[in-house]
């Protein structure tokens, strides 16, 4: 079991590949569709995802795709389940298993991610049907009094329980503590908060004896708040890597960053800056949602859902992003 986890986690972050996060819940995807004047039905969502996943050559740069339960249960036009379709195209199927961020009792409007009820049997079922990795996203906000200690602890604890359950089912956990970018805070504040949050997450992961080479960390990039003072990609890259080095053990299989609502160019520039830093203890790659999908979705909407043009747009984003990754032999030097 451990060997399989380590192999799959390694494959997820193997150069020159990253992960495509296509696990927006149906309500979230509906919002994105509506913003582009697209109708959202189970059939149009299926068509959108099949268009993306069948892009020729995607598997050369994408190791795995995170699916939402609806897509996991759907079939392609050729009648294959989406997990089987991904495997046939050289990509690992992943599944979002949390049930969303809900109000945290005792906090001032903070959130805790739920989904632990019945998670063990759900993971066994997903594994049987092809899932080889999973994702759980915790959400933390920054302001004068946030994130609170209880919010950090509650989310770290849930992430660790989820990660251990995944590994017991042969599934690689993506551990995703996302610190939202909203706010007027500066880069140093995000750095401090991220250090505290990640340290709490790794404390809990260690308590639950999660196998670190059999997991992937998916943090947010360390950026200033959206209305705070600006920072260059180089500053963001250096501060992010410095923070991860402080708290992320070298034995973690890899770091796959989320894009968090940054423009696609900015997310790629920040990822490039991190990859330019020498002697990284782990591969640093992408697990982007919006930074890979926003532009193709515009093309899909404006072209009357033209498959080829949409796929060309996705491949532009994917190749531009993968091209900034540092070759494996330069990692760990
Ligand atoms: P973004 O890259 O759009 O932040 O999405 C990644 C993701 O998986 C969010 O949970």
CB 258 near ligand 1, within 6 Å: yes
User: What residue's CA is closest to ligand 1, atom 5?
Assistant: 289
For the purposes of burial, counting CB atoms within 10 Å of the CB of 22, is it exposed (0-12), middle (13-18) or buried (19 or more)?
Answer: buried
pLDDT tens-digit readout, 151-164: 999 999 999 999 99
What counts of helices (H) and strands (E) characterise the chain?
12, 10
Give the Cα separation of 241 and 258 in Å (integer).
15
pLDDT tens-digit readout, 56-71: 999 999 999 999 999 9
| Distant-in-sequence, close-in-space partners of 114: CB < 8 Å, separation ≥ 6 | 98, 99, 100, 101, 102, 158
Q: Is 218 an annotated catalytic residue?
A: yes
Cα end-to-end span (Å), the chain: 29
Question: Which of 259, 268, 292, 293 most suits a substitution to test ligand 1, by most atoms within 8 Å of the C-beta?
Answer: 259
The pLDDT-based confidence of 327 (bands split at 50, 70, 90) is confident
pLDDT tens-digit readout, 197-246: 999 999 999 999 999 999 999 999 999 999 999 999 999 999 999 999 99
Give the Cα separation of 97 and 163 in Å (integer).
11
Give the Cα separation of 158 and 138 in Å (integer).
9
Question: Which of 288, 291, 292, 297 most suits a substitution to test ligand 1, by most atoms within 8 Å of the C-beta?
Answer: 288
Fold of 2-322: TIM Barrel (3.20.20)
- What is the chain's mean pLDDT, rounded? 97
- pTM value? 0.97
CB 288 near ligand 1, within 6 Å: yes
pLDDT tens-digit readout, 257-302: 999 999 999 999 999 999 999 999 999 999 999 999 999 999 999 9
CA of 69 to the centre of ligand 1 (A): 16
Give the Cα separation of 170 and 7 in Å (integer).
11
Q: Bridge partners of 284?
A: 255
How much of the chain, in percent, has pLDDT values that exceed 90? 97
Average pLDDT over residues 19-46: 98
DSSP label of 143: B
Q: Which helix (H) or strand (E) holds 216?
A: strand 216-217
Neighbouring C-beta atoms of residue 155, cutoff 10 Å: 28
Tell me which of 176, 182, 238, 298 is the catalytic residue.
Answer: 176
CA of 148 to the centre of ligand 1 (A): 23
The pLDDT-based confidence of 333 (bands split at 50, 70, 90) is very low
Residue 1's pLDDT is what? Answer: 81
CB 96 near ligand 1, within 6 Å: no
User: What residue's CA is closest to ligand 1, atom 8?
Assistant: 21
User: 3-class DSSP state for residue 93?
Assistant: strand
Question: Are 21 and 291 within 8 A, CB to CB?
Answer: no
């Amino acid at each position: 079991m451990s060997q399989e986890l380590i192999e799959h986690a390694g494959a997820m972050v193997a150069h020159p590949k990253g992960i495509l996060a296509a696990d927006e819940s149906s309500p979230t995807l509906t919002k994105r569709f509506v913003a582009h004047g697209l109708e959202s039905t189970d059939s149009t969502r299926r068509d959108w995802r099949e268009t993306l996943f069948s892009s020729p050559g995607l598997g050369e740069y994408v190791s795995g795709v995170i699916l939402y339960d609806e897509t996991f249960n759907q079939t392609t036009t050729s009648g294959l389940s989406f997990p089987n379709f991904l495997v046939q195209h050289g990509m690992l199927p992943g599944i979002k298993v949390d049930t969303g961020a809900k109000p945290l009792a005792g906090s001032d409007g903070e959130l805790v991610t739920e989904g632990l009820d019945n998670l063990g049997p759900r993971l066994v079922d997903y594994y049987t049907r092809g899932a080889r990795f999973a994702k759980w996203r915790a959400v933390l906000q920054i302001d004068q009094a946030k994130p609170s200690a209880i919010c950090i602890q509650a989310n770290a604890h849930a992430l660790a329980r989820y990660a251990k359950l995944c590994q017991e089912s042969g599934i690689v956990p993506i551990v995703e503590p996302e610190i939202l970018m909203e706010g007027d805070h500066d880069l140093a504040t995000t750095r401090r908060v991220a250090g505290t949050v990640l340290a709490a997450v790794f404390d809990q992961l260690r308590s639950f004896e999660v196998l670190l080479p059999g997991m992937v960390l998916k943090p947010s990039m360390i950026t200033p708040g959206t209305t705070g003072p600006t920072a260059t990609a180089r500053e963001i890259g250096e501060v992010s890597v410095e923070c991860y080095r402080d708290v992320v053990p070298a034995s973690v299989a890899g770091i796959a960053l989320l894009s968090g609502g940054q423009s696609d160019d900015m997310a790629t520039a920040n990822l490039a800056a991190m990859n330019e830093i020498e002697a990284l203890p782990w591969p640093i790659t992408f697990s982007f949602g919006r930074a890979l999908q926003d532009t193709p979705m515009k093309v899909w909407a404006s072209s009357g859902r033209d498959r080829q043009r949409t796929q060309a747009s996705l491949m532009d984003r994917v190749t531009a992003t993968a091209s900034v990754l540092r070759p494996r032999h330069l990692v760990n030097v």
